[in-house]
Structure 1
Amino acid sequence: MTSDNFDIAWNLLIKRYDDKWVITANHINAPLQAPVATTVSAQSLRGLLSAIIENVATLKALNLPVDQRDMLLLHLLEKHIART
């Protein structure tokens, strides 16, 4: 290993992991694939809400327009809470 290889390795990492399209798709899909809260409890709702907030925060960090998507997020939450 030499410092000459650092630039090559760094560029390979950037090429592989700095794909905004893939990152965006993963964070849009994550709430859609969240497990359904089988019990209506504070713990299960908190877990689901945390997962959605985390992914929305990442999308905001990528400068994507997520502030006008409240109805969509509410619909996602509703679909992931089991009806009793």
Structure 2
Amino acid sequence: MTTIPSRLARVSQSSGSLLDARRRVVQLYRDWYRSETMNCWKQEPHIMGILLRDLHEGSAVGQTFLQKFYAGRDEESVRIASPQQ
């Protein structure tokens, strides 16, 4: 998911006092930090879900650890789910 800059735009304002300016700056920073954090958190699971897929989907149902070991199955094996393959 991309960030649309115009959605984050705010109208510029002048403050009458230092306390009001400080309060506004802190609020703007908090809003920006939250939006950046959420944007960052959305990327990894989204990309990992699209690009990577388990090699043995559904083949290990009912198998014990030793059965998987003897078959040479690696639980962490993944491949790129790309249409070029």
TM class, shorter-chain normalised?
0.3 to 0.5
Identify the structure with the greater helix proportion.
1
TM-score by length of 1: 0.35
Identify the structure with the greater strand proportion.
2
TM-score by length of 2: 0.35
Higher relative contact order (CA 8 A, sep 6+): 1
